Amino acid sequence: MTVLFGVFLLTLIVITALAIVQTQHLFVAVILAGIFSLLIAVIFFLLDAADVALTEAAIGAGISTMLFLAALTLTAEYERSGSANRLLALGVVAVTTLIMIYATFDKPRLGDPAAPVQQHVAPWYLEHTPEAIGIPNVVTAVLASFRGYDTLGEVSVILTAGIGVLFLFGAKPRRQSGPQRIAPHEPGRGLRHYLIPRVVGQLLIPFILLFGLYVQFHGDYGPGGGFQAGAIVAAAFILYALLEGEAQILRVLPQRLLTGLIAGGALLYGAVGVAGILLGGSFLDYSVLAANPITGQHIGILLIEAGVGITVTGVLISVFHALAARGSV
Amino acid sequence: MYYVVIIATLATMILALVRALLGPSVYDRVLAANMFGTKTVLLLAVIAFLYGRPDFLDLALAYTLINFIGVLAILEFIRRRAPSSAADHDTGS
Amino acid sequence: MELFGLYNYWVYTVLLMIGFYAVIAKPNLIKKLIGLSIFQSAVFLLFITMGKVRGGTAPIFQAGVEDQVFSNPLPQVLILTAIVVGISTTALGLGIVVRIKEEYGSIEEHEIQELDRQ
Amino acid sequence: MSLLLHVSSWVLLSLGGAFVFIGGVGVLRMPNLYTRMHAASLTDSMGAALIIAGVMLQAGPSLAAIKLAAILLFLLLTSPTATNALASAALLAGLRPEEDTSSPEECGE
């Protein structure tokens, strides 16, 4: 029965994707992309990927929509039609689709336990997580401990992207600087003239932050971890920025602090690795962090998840702020 | 018995999706997207119980909060675009 | 249910190609980025589909429940990080598009090329 | 006792499902934005409350029930707020309640 639900949802996904590509109104495309993201997150959940579904919900449906909208207000709302190579592109796409669908007939069926993917390292991870790491969530164990190098690389990519955006927007001062300094009482800043959303939003922000912390530190036992928590905490601050305007968020989180967060999280991650070397283990080997290897693993995972969360929060808030502040000047 | 709810929710999702595709105004689409989000929350809560893993209710909670922020963000940026898109035509071409 | 055993892969293919079409055929840079994120989602779907095991559940041990079948945690780890990396690169792309708009006054590919030729 | 719980949870879930579906039909069939909003929000909060209450009865007194209560609380807080913001935004943008916008041309600009 759940297979049928999956098929139904996948069909909806294809319809949504077609509509996204077809519409000329970019706002509509972004709203539909939000729906697309919700659908794909439900699919992930049906396919047993709870952690991924949580990430996709927080990032895809939340942060991504907001970033696209912020960029849209700075660029154009409508796409101009008229592409010279439309037929050629359609031809290429149709042929490739047919070839790829032909290729799928050799793939193992959905959920086949004998498929090659299920044979290699995954059983080892599932078998050794309880004794070597001692936490119930295997995804977190693999992410933070077994494949800690990978995750360090991912954090560096996020760090680099964040620095890139800050450079893009920071290198050149705003064209209309000076008189248009952000005035905190300028009418129409943020949603402040909508009283009810403002009150409810302010009421909710502490709970969202609390939930973000819960996701961060409960990641060992259930779906969660630094990536998801970073996105949720960033969403809470973005809500604050929407309600109170960009000037207010800068007062709460100055750009210097944000830059410090971005670098500090990645540094914390690296420092845990170096601490492993200094204590006589190898890089990112948490077992030496405490007398008992399993306690060491717990400490290591806690620290690096915190590092990931801090970096992700910093990058997402800075990127949003960079886009939104430019729009409101 | 959970299946009744799941099927009803899925059917509503398709109705909301049709509304999101038809429009006609941007606000209709936002309404449909908001409704879609609520339906997703319900669907996830019910599926978590169907799978016998009630610890996954965290997801539904996250969806509720993110959905709210998303709708407010869309409204705010729709409001913001009015002056900026007018400026578009001056500098655009 | 054997009938639908490959449906996920077909949807993956179609989504991949829808995203690809948007990237190559749409002149608007933001539309290209949206197409790119559809493309990304298709790849995510492929990985998560491969990790599913029939009768399995999410790879999180439950206290007091023995002999559970778990889906493959490895693709989930890869995709979890890939989603966050994806949004970072999309953000960088959006930053570049906004800067292009500021410099060229347009985000349509052919208009930008036109301006470059002058 | 457990039978009673079971039956009442079943009734709540089915009623919730019906409400949700009716809301969906309303969103599709109503003539303009404000009536659609009415259909969506009224049945949304009702349907959500009924379904979550039904699931809560299944969960019994546990952590899951508390989480469900939190979800319900947040839904009941956020859903009407979002609808309110949407209505005032649409009104400010000049979308009049008496208009019939079921015809396909794009409006609300």
Q: Which residues on neighbouring strands pair with residue C57, listed in sequence order?
A: C70
- Residue that has been written with the tokens 């697309």 in this structure: A36
| Residue C38 domain flag | yes
pLDDT category, A199, cuts 50, 70, 90? confident
Alpha-carbon gap, residue B81 to C9, rounded angstroms = 39
Q: What does the mean pLDDT of chain D come to? A: 82
Residues A110-153 have pLDDT tens digits of: 888 888 888 888 888 888 888 888 888 888 888 888 888 889 99
Domain CATH number, residue C13: 1.10.287.3510
Which domain covers residue D64, as residue numbers?
A: 2-90
Task: Indicate the domain borders of chain B.
Answer: 2-82
Residue, of B71 and A247, whose pLDDT is higher: B71
Cβ within 8 Å of D, A 42-81: none
Q: Which residues of D touch A200 (CB under 8 A)?
A: 77-78, 81
Which domain covers residue C43, as residue numbers?
A: 2-52+70-117
| Residue D40 domain flag | yes
Q: What are the CA-CA distances from residue D102 to residues A231, A325, B23, D22, D34 (Å)?
A: 38, 37, 9, 18, 12
Task: Indicate the domain borders of chain A.
Answer: 1-109, 124-177+185-329
Chains linked to C by 3 or more Cβ pairs within 8 Å:
A, B
Crossing angle between the packed helical segments A65-74 and C29-51, to the nearest 10 degrees: 170
Instruction: Please indicate whether, in this complex, the C-beta atoms of A79 and C26 are within 8 angstroms of each other.
Output: yes
Q: Which residues on neighbouring strands pair with residue A169, listed in sequence order?
A: none
Q: Reply yes or no on whether the pLDDT at A255 is more than 60.
A: yes
Count Cα neighbours of A23 within 13 Å in the Cβ-side half-sphere. 26
Q: Is the peptide bond before A187 cis (omega within 30 degrees of 0)?
A: no
pLDDT category, A193, cuts 50, 70, 90? low
What count of residues does chain A have?
329
ipTM, 2 decimals? 0.90
Burial of C87 (0-12, 13-18, 19+ CB in 10 A): buried
Number of structural domains chain D divides into: 1
A139 touches chain C (CB under 8 A): yes
Q: What does the mean pLDDT of chain B come to? A: 80
Q: What is the H or E stretch that residue B79 is in?
A: helix B57-92
Given this model, what pLDDT does residue A172 score? 55
Alpha-carbon gap, residue C96 to A263, rounded angstroms = 22
Q: Reply yes or no on whether the pLDDT at A80 is more than 80.
A: no
Alpha-carbon gap, residue A135 to A56, rounded angstroms = 23
Residues A163-174 have pLDDT tens digits of: 999 888 875 544
Read off the pLDDT of each residue in A241-270 and give the average, rounded to a whole number.
87
Phi, psi torsion values for C28, nearest 5 degrees = -80, 130
- Among the partner residues B55, B56, B92, nearest to C105 by beta-carbon distance: B92
| Residue D73 domain flag | yes
Considering only CA atoms, give the Rg of chain D.
17
Count Cα neighbours of A270 within 13 Å in the Cβ-side half-sphere. 11
Q: Which residues of A touch C25 (CB under 8 A)?
A: 83, 85-86, 89-90
Residue, of A131 and A30, whose pLDDT is higher: A30
Chains linked to A by 3 or more Cβ pairs within 8 Å:
B, C, D
Alpha-carbon gap, residue B67 to A244, rounded angstroms = 19
Contact C109, C100 (CB under 8 A): no
Alpha-carbon gap, residue A140 to A293, rounded angstroms = 17
Read off the pLDDT of each residue in C41-56 and give the average, rounded to a whole number.
89
Residues D51-76 have pLDDT tens digits of: 999 988 888 788 888 889 999 999 88
Among A76-90, A101-115, A248-262, whose mean pLDDT is lowest?
A76-90
Alpha-carbon gap, residue D67 to D109, rounded angstroms = 41
Question: Where would I find the H helices in chain A?
Answer: 2-22, 26-46, 50-56, 65-74, 86-104, 122-128, 138-141, 148-170, 195-217, 226-244, 246-252, 255-278, 293-327
Q: What does the mean pLDDT of chain A come to? A: 85
**A interface mutation test: which of D88, D105, D107 has the most A CBs within 10 A?**
D88
Q: Reply yes or no on whether the pLDDT at D97 is more than 50.
A: yes
Q: Which residues on neighbouring strands pair with residue A137, listed in sequence order?
A: C60
Q: Which residues on neighbouring strands pair with residue A78, listed in sequence order?
A: A25
Chains linked to B by 3 or more Cβ pairs within 8 Å:
A, C, D
Q: Reply yes or no on whether the pLDDT at B84 is more than 60.
A: no
pLDDT category, B53, cuts 50, 70, 90? confident
Alpha-carbon gap, residue C25 to A94, rounded angstroms = 13
Instruction: Please indicate whether, in this complex, the C-beta atoms of A194 and D106 are within 8 angstroms of each other.
Output: no
| Residue C60 domain flag | no
Q: What is the H or E stretch that residue B35 is in?
A: helix B26-50
- Residue that has been written with the tokens 């998840």 in this structure: A305
Q: What is the H or E stretch that residue C77 is in?
A: helix C73-104
Q: Reply yes or no on whether the pLDDT at B83 is more than 90.
A: no
Contact D81, A200 (CB under 8 A): yes
- Characterise D108 by phi-psi region: left (phi > 0), alpha (psi -120 to 50), beta (else): left
